[in-house]
Structure 1
Amino acid sequence: MPVDKEMQIIDDIMEKIITKAMKPGEKIPSENKLADQHKVPRITARKALTTLEARGYIYSVQGKGRFLKETSKPIQLHLTGNSSFTDKMKRAGYRLTTKNMYCNKINYDSKIYDTLQANREAAIYKIGRLRLIDDEPIAIHQSFVDQDRFPNIAHEGSQILSMFAYYRQFGYEEFASKHSLLSITFPTSYEQELLSCSSMVPLIVLETDCIDRKTKKVLEYTKILYRSDKFKYDITSEGSR
């Protein structure tokens, strides 16, 4: 099987980044130099560098070349447990802010309706919040809520920053989840704009339910999109630590 020269260049540079053989701010070899080193056309070297730039590892300065980007320290996030995202980030000492983006009624979706145990005629609302740490966008939280359970959600949803805080107004105090699904996707153009990332930055998708521990009522279906380059994901149960 022929060697993919473009991927070989990418792998060589990535190995230098991972092993810290290259430091943030260090200049990347030019297209011509990489082409000579790997005995490939200049266009192949250019494609490799363009890919690394799209993935967020390097950046260009016009007239000066490309440089290794300074990487921020990954945020450690517990994907399991029954604490809210807000509580987890505050306990860890991060400066978290939340922006409510919308509260929209959705069309029928069997997966969401089944999770919420809602009938087909039910009015389900999607509340979207953008999470930022140190003013940098890192996640999109989408909560799907049945109006039959929360009658004023159509009007109040656009003001909610914390769903758990909202539920506590109704006497729900302890929360749990029965099902969680983890997957990977790539951002749409709208998500790229919200999260300030390129199309090649993978997103970790966490889909789960939220249940009142006491009554066992399903309060919401949740879908969270995390920037994969901003987190370290801890899947250890919080209760076992």
Structure 2
Amino acid sequence: MIISVDIELKILDDLMQKIIAKKFKVGEKLPSENELADQYRVPRTTVRRTLAKLEERGFIYSRRGVGRYINNESFQVELNLNGKSSFTDKMKKSGHQLITKNICCERIEFDQQIYDQLTANSEDNIYKISRLRFIQEEPIAIHTSYINQTVFPDIQEDGSHIQSMFAYYRQLGYTELINRNSLLSATFPTLTEQQLLSCKSMEPLIMIESNCVDASSAKILEHTKVLYRSNKFKYNVSRDS
């Protein structure tokens, strides 16, 4: 018996809609593979593939030898994608207890795209500073900043201690900061990103790339890439007041 991909997608959509509509309670055990196979009139292997996709998307989880259960409801943080505030400032303003872990400070190999964004010369040293963000003890985002050592001579020593780039810039006298050339796209996590964000390979991430600029001098301070777990945020595209 041949089952088309369309049938699998229809079963997947039906189960997702039932979970979203709360026809299953959080923590409730799903019907067995055999029960679902009978319900949808498909082979058990089709149900197993569908449930695997549902688990990859974070809707359910498995308990070995016991069954599959509805995942806990995910908290969502409202995030304004525009404005002049840092992520740290936005989270504090919203009342969220943000924890930041600096996970990387290293010089990168030449990358034409990043060097172009920073208007850097090929002989310049560019450093990558990455921070992992936690709310409610869950990893929710990875912020990566690319910094030209020509602009910030002490970045090699300072980089591993930075938690907020905006705070770092303000300490150095850059008080009016703006984001330019912001681009938003969807992507899927690499293996390393899955491990850092505790997410599955098919859980979509929102990526925002932008340049942080000093408003008074128009100097580019950094090129930024941010990965957000899409199910942890509600995105506000209006401007900050």
After superposition, give the CA deviation of every residue in 1:38-95 in whole Å (9 maximum; x if it has no partner).
1111000111111111211111223432111111221111111110000001111111
TM-score, normalised to structure 2's length?
0.95
| Aligned ranges 1:118-129 → 2 under 5 Å | 118-129=120-131
SS of the counterpart of 1:119?
Answer: coil
Kept in 2: contact 1:76–1:232 (CA 8 A): yes
How far apart, CA to CA, are the structure 1 residues paired with 2:109 and 2:207? 21
Partner of 1:20: 22
Equivalent residue in structure 2 for 1:192, among 181, 191, 194:
194
TM-score, normalised to structure 1's length?
0.95
**Pairs aligned (count):** 238
Equivalent residue in structure 2 for 1:4, among 3, 6, 10:
6
How far apart, CA to CA, are the structure 1 residues paired with 2:49 and 2:106? 41
SS of the counterpart of 2:213?
Answer: strand
Equivalent residue in structure 1 for 2:68, among 56, 66, 69:
66
How far apart, CA to CA, are the structure 1 residues paired with 2:179 and 2:230? 23
Partner of 1:155: 157
Partner of 2:50: 48
| Shift in Å, 1:3 | 6.6
Kept in 2: contact 1:5–1:38 (CA 8 A): no
Equivalent residue in structure 1 for 2:218, among 216, 221, 234:
216
Amino acid at match of 1:199: S
How far apart, CA to CA, are the structure 1 residues paired with 2:63 and 2:165? 43
| Shift in Å, 1:20 | 1.7
RMSD (CA atoms)? 1.2
Equivalent residue in structure 1 for 2:177, among 175, 179, 196:
175
Identity %: 56
Gaps of 5+ in 2: none
Q: After the TM superposition, list the runs of 4 or more consecutive aligned residues in structure 1 that deviate by more than 6 angstroms.
A: none
Gaps of 5+ in 1: none
Partner of 1:136: 138
Amino acid at match of 2:40: H
How far apart, CA to CA, are the structure 2 residues paired with 1:161 and 1:234? 24
Partner of 2:34: 32
How far apart, CA to CA, are the structure 2 residues paired with 1:177 and 1:3? 43
